[in-house]
Structure 1
Amino acid sequence: MIMISNPCDTFHNIQCFTKALKVLFAPTDGWGHINACQGMADGLRERGHRAIFAVAAKFAPKLRASGYEVELLTVTAEGQVLTPGAAANQGENNFVAENLEVFKTSAINVVEMYVKLFGDRLCGALRARDTLFREIIGRFRPDVIVVDTYVSSPYIVYSGVPWVWLYSASPLMMLNDSRLPPAWLGLPTVGNTSEWLKHRSQLEVVFKKCYQKVNEWYESEGFPPLKSTSYCNLHPISPYLNIYMTPEELDYKKVQPLAHNWHRVDSFVRTTDETFEIPECLCNWSGKLILLSMGSFGGSHLELMTRLTTILAKSEHRFIVAKGPLHDKYELPNNMWGQKTLPQTAVIPLVDLVLTHGGNNTVTETFYFGKPMLVLPLWADQYDNAQRLQETGLGLRLNPFHCTEEELLTSIDKLVNDSDLAQRMKSIGDRIRESNDKQFLPQFSKYSQRKLTVLFAPTDGWGHINACQGMADGLRERGHRAIFAVAAKFAPKLHASGYEVELLTVTAEGQLPTPGVDANQGENNFVVRNLEVFKTSAINVVEMYVKVFADRLCSKLRAREPLFREIIGRLRPDVIVVDTYISSPYIVYSGVPWVWLYSASPLMMLNDPRLPPA
């Protein structure tokens, strides 16, 4: 008897005994993607697995500070591949500054600008990393690879290593479904479908060249090209597992359910030891406490940050500001305090409202802590998050470049004074923190396709042998290897069923007499010699059995101890299944996870005063 209600759960639980997995994370270059992967890695590390990150050098210090191994994706003389999505000869600061006027226009113009500028460069930078991925994968031999990217190396996709696609951006682009508006434009989900069609056609034109570049890359390396019905789909679907990250309240219900190998999570909030105390200079101010966080791109936009902080200086409220890369280029008004970067997951729980660019990482973290939001989107999926938040009644959106002073200040006052929204968001935060949406993590090993070696050590009896074989059949169907350690008389049947057998033989005749049977007699003689006892009461039979075989049972099992040590040492099983009344201490304390299958009637095993004795 195994105390699991569903037989299928037995096999999943057996699989959970696998030794620690090596999981290689390969996120795209962006803090939102890095943070989402770290949140997932934290969950796996808590379950005993090993997480390794392959990232550009600028992300390494933070990951190492969190205790992670890091492999640098460095191919240039400076020791770093430039961030895909930043021009080859400029950083994010210059990229934003040189394209400032485009960011002030429409969402479609921003998409066209981005894809046009970086279609070639994105593929080029990723291709430059392909050799590194080959070397890293060959050296580490990971059990699973997690990618959080819009375009993946074909060597990862076709490496033969099971891989998981984590889509940590807003899911609209990933879904790319005609029942929903096209992505990256911030269109309402209830709207003019003819307008959707028009914009979808525009996006197809915009992404076509990039799609062709990805296919040229794949085919030049000898891999199959992408076969999508849309040029916007630059990434293949994983046959193993695909995860997207959005709170349940923002999910797109029209297209649910997705395929069986898709899983939604509310968030992957990373675990940190960072703390934050409200600065003393803000403690003397009245009003609500508000976080302003516009992400690395927004923080690189000096004109925008100056505009926003100038308007917010006229608010009655207090502001904590993530100043960004240009932190030393502008001063904050008296009702604000800020620095280049903030421990965001430590700050959000303290504030009453979050003003944000709407990056998916910040949105999901804010939901996790149950705070309302005002989204000021700059580009891409930020527009979609802003629209989704507003149409679900969980926040507001404004154009950060063109909203008036009155619109911004009035929207802030409306949100911080909305007690119903505050309570609703608090309830959502409570739900997410208590939710079970990451329940797939304990069974993550099944996505690795690791084949377990399971050693069965049943006591000598056909009932026990048959029960173990039934369990072994289920595990074998799932691709695992089952080996039996049994007395020789049970071997032919198990061999005939296709199982490997290790013989527990220690006598000159090549067989250890069955524990529970007199060394000089078989089962037939044992019954014949004790026939009169069997005709009496059950208690007499128990007394006779224990008296005759107590010493012999232990001695025969002890005689098998060296064999178990040798078999376990040689086979190095991942799990041992015992179906016995007495087990070898070497099995129990071998350090190998073990399962007790009690295949007899459970009354003796339960041994409870509320029940009769067995």
Structure 2
Amino acid sequence: MTRFLFVVPPLTGHINPLIGVAGELERQGHEIHWLGHVKAVLPLLPEGAHFHAFDRVRARNLLEPLSKRASEVRGLESVRFLFEAFVCPLAQATLPEVERAIDVLAPDMIVTDQQMLSGALAARRKQIPWVATVTTTAAIFKVWDIADRWITKVLADLQRACDMEVWPRPDLSPLANLVFSTPEFSGRFDQFQAPFTFVGPSLASRPQKENFPWDRLSPSGPRLLITLGTVNRDRDPRFYHVVTEALAEMPCQVILVAPEAWRNRTPANFITAPRVPQLALLPHVDAVFCHAGHNTVCESLAHGLPLIVAPIRDDQPVIARQVTQAGAGVGLRFGRLTETNVRTAVKKVLADASYREAAQRIGASFARAGGSPLAARTLIETASRCGAVAGGV
């Protein structure tokens, strides 16, 4: 039996892929502990999960001021904001708490999200084997030279501030890094040097706590899911005006994830809710219109669903490009959405079979990749190789 400590950021899309991996490990007799922000993490975990929370006051003081600014930045500015205002401050604020959790729980291995650097830094300090989880392939490819060089500098400054040896990429483990995608989808870019295991999306069942009116799903005709993800849902009211006007008269049913205020303001062919059970819903739709968030894109492609992607920030332009280059969808510019181009894109994706065929091809590569079982096996084998079993290294 190996005791794993999963250290995760307060980001739904970075937590969900790990739930299936943790479940697979538990089914094989291993012990899983979670460390994160209670408000963001605990509602996503199954009942009975061993959860340990960061200090609530410190977490609130760090995260709440970020929400408004996060909804405003775009493009390369959003990458700068991500690291300067979120990744690095989060690492410094939580590093002592991760170290305390290690002292108390005595984990044999740390599994830490790539953007949760306190997990990696604490593991290095405590000399515990650690594996990074990579929920977006944009983070491991050399896509934007100017951004890559700047990120390397910022991460070096963080390590110096923590009085640690500077690694070029401290977010990548020298032992193993689990990438929730496949080369068939992500394309062939130059990679940063690290041992990567491409496992595809982790689609094992996860707790579904949202109520959804399943009886309102249309028995015939195409269905379209529209979502901007958890972080961007409240970003821009104009988006909801445009899509409702564009699709009100189309012969399709739209499931729209939107702020609560929109629930009773959408046309008759819409089902609108602030949250939906996305994984459970995907088998019942014909296409997805989203922000090019990596998890939503990969979950959609895993179900063979073509996409309309309108990237907003961070890695999303890279993921959108992967979708269009694979032929699995149509790209739109978020800031230039109109009723006409939205309607045209939706019609195109629903009518042209080539998009669905490309999505199914990518989905087949995901199915072959191994998913949660391969991720769990990689963790177990890495722990065994390091001697990290039953009590530590």
TM over 0.5: yes
Q: Secondary structure at the match of 1:175?
A: coil
Report the residue type matching 1:150 in the other structure. Answer: Q
How many Å separate the matches in 1 of 2:90 and 2:388? 36
How many Å separate the matches in 2 of 1:121 and 1:262? 25
Question: What's the CA shift string for 1:63-102, capped at 9, x where partnerless?
Answer: 44344211101152xxx61396x5x535x3x3355x2xx5
Change (3 A) 1:451 1:126: closer
The aligned residue for residue 76 of structure 2 is 108
How many Å separate the matches in 2 of 1:121 and 1:278? 36
Question: What's the CA shift string for 1:450-504, capped at 9, x where partnerless?
Answer: 3779xxxxxxxxxxxxxxxxxxxxxxxxxx9xxxxxxxxxxxxxxxxxxxxxxxx
The aligned residue for residue 444 of structure 1 is 379
Matched, 1:317 2:252: yes
8 Å Cα contact 1:357/1:376 also seen in 2: yes
Question: What's the CA shift string for 1:336-386, capped at 9, x where partnerless?
Answer: 112111111001111000111111111121122221111111111111110
- Give the counterpart of 1:133 among 83, 98, 105: 98
Report the residue type matching 2:341 in the other structure. Answer: E
The aligned residue for residue 327 of structure 1 is 260
Percent identical residues: 20
The aligned residue for residue 159 of structure 1 is 126
Q: Aligned-pair distance for 1:258?
A: 6.4
The aligned residue for residue 150 of structure 1 is 115
Q: CA RMSD in A?
A: 3.0
How many Å separate the matches in 1 of 2:25 and 2:279? 19
Q: Aligned-pair distance for 1:443?
A: 5.5
How many Å separate the matches in 2 of 1:369 and 1:67? 29
Change (3 A) 1:313 1:361: same
The aligned residue for residue 323 of structure 2 is 389
Report the residue type matching 1:450 in the other structure. Answer: G
8 Å Cα contact 2:262/2:272 also seen in 1: no
How many Å separate the matches in 1 of 2:61 and 2:130? 23
How many Å separate the matches in 2 of 1:409 and 1:41? 41
- Give the counterpart of 2:89 among 100, 124, 131: 124
8 Å Cα contact 1:298/1:304 also seen in 2: no
How many Å separate the matches in 2 of 1:427 and 1:252? 14
TM-score normalised by structure 2 residue count: 0.86
- For structure 2, the residue ranges without an aligned partner over 5 or more in a row are none
8 Å Cα contact 2:19/2:45 also seen in 1: no
Q: Aligned-pair distance for 1:431?
A: 5.0
8 Å Cα contact 1:163/1:238 also seen in 2: yes
Q: Secondary structure at the match of 2:304?
A: coil
8 Å Cα contact 2:114/2:171 also seen in 1: no
Report the residue type matching 1:26 in the other structure. Answer: V
How many Å separate the matches in 1 of 2:375 and 2:180? 14
Q: Aligned-pair distance for 1:434?
A: 5.3
Q: Aligned-pair distance for 1:173?
A: 2.9
8 Å Cα contact 1:120/1:210 also seen in 2: no
How many Å separate the matches in 2 of 1:83 and 1:52? 25
The aligned residue for residue 244 of structure 1 is 179
How many Å separate the matches in 2 of 1:59 and 1:258? 32
Mapping for residues 218-367 of structure 1, pairs under 5 Å: 218-219=162-163, 223-226=164-167, 228=168, 233=169, 235-255=170-190, 261-272=195-206, 274=208, 279-283=214-218, 287-301=221-235, 302-323=237-258, 326-328=259-261, 331-367=265-301
Question: What's the CA shift string for 1:114-173, capped at 9, x where partnerless?
Answer: 25xx6156433332212211111111111111111325122223321110011111x233
Higher relative contact order (CA 8 A, sep 6+): 2
8 Å Cα contact 2:292/2:310 also seen in 1: yes
Report the residue type matching 2:141 in the other structure. Answer: L
Mapping for residues 365-384 of structure 1, pairs under 5 Å: 365-384=299-318
Change (3 A) 1:357 1:443: closer
8 Å Cα contact 1:28/1:34 also seen in 2: yes
Mapping for residues 206-605 of structure 1, pairs under 5 Å: 207=151, 210-219=154-163, 223-226=164-167, 228=168, 233=169, 235-255=170-190, 261-272=195-206, 274=208, 279-283=214-218, 287-301=221-235, 302-323=237-258, 326-328=259-261, 331-433=265-367, 435-436=369-370, 438-439=373-374, 441-442=376-377, 444-448=379-383, 449-450=386-387
Larger radius of gyration: 1
The aligned residue for residue 562 of structure 1 is none
8 Å Cα contact 1:332/1:338 also seen in 2: yes
Matched, 1:51 2:27: no
Change (3 A) 1:440 1:352: closer
8 Å Cα contact 1:276/1:347 also seen in 2: no
Q: Aligned-pair distance for 1:210?
A: 3.1
Q: Secondary structure at the match of 1:164?
A: strand
Q: Aligned-pair distance for 1:314?
A: 3.8
How many Å separate the matches in 1 of 2:300 and 2:160? 40
- Give the counterpart of 2:10 among 26, 29, 40: 29
Corresponding pairs, count: 383
How many Å separate the matches in 2 of 1:451 and 1:150? 24
8 Å Cα contact 1:123/1:213 also seen in 2: no
Q: Secondary structure at the match of 1:155?
A: helix
TM-score normalised by structure 1 residue count: 0.57
Q: Secondary structure at the match of 1:396?
A: strand
Q: Aligned-pair distance for 1:246?
A: 1.5
8 Å Cα contact 2:44/2:207 also seen in 1: no
Matched, 1:82 2:27: no
How many Å separate the matches in 1 of 2:180 and 2:47? 22
The aligned residue for residue 135 of structure 2 is 168
Q: Secondary structure at the match of 1:142?
A: coil
Q: Secondary structure at the match of 2:377?
A: coil
Change (3 A) 1:310 1:216: farther
Report the residue type matching 1:175 in the other structure. Answer: F
Change (3 A) 1:125 1:335: same
Report the residue type matching 2:374 in the other structure. Answer: Q
- For structure 1, the residue ranges without an aligned partner over 5 or more in a row are 1-19, 183-199, 454-479, 481-614
8 Å Cα contact 2:3/2:107 also seen in 1: yes
Matched, 1:201 2:134: no
Q: Secondary structure at the match of 1:95?
A: helix
